[in-house]
Amino acid sequence: MPLQQYIISVITHPRVPLKDEVSLKEVLKRRLTKKEYKILDALAYGKNTREVCSKLKLDDDRYNEIVSVLTRKLNQEKIKQELAL
């Protein structure tokens, strides 16, 4: 459920309802890089930015860049369609 809620909060004009958590993870693992997916998962489950950066060995600039790309990807119409029921 946290993943669905986070995606809805990030996407502009989300197509609701979204798929279940397991199906969302399958789609996201196919469409995102490993680091993008790990960051998305961490953000959805409330992990601290410092904790995520440390675990993935990222500096703040690279982390912000990945989050920006991730947000853009999630807002692509094709991906929105795959995430929706």
Instruction: Let me know if residue 85 belongs to a domain.
Output: no
Range of the domain at 29: 2-80
Sign of CA dihedral 23, 26, 32, 33: positive
**For residue 14, what pLDDT is reported?**
79
C-alpha to C-alpha distance for 75 and 13, rounded to whole angstroms? 9
CATH of residue 29's domain is 1.10.10
**Nearest-5° Cα angle at 10, 48 to 58:** 40
pTM, rounded to two decimals? 0.88
- The per-residue pLDDT for 37 is 96
Task: Please tell me the distance from the alpha carbon of residue 63 to that of residue 2, in angstroms, as a whole number.
Answer: 21
Q: Is the pLDDT at 70 greater than 70, yes or no?
A: yes
Instruction: Tell whether the model's pLDDT for residue 42 goes beyond 90.
Output: yes
Tally the domains of the chain.
1
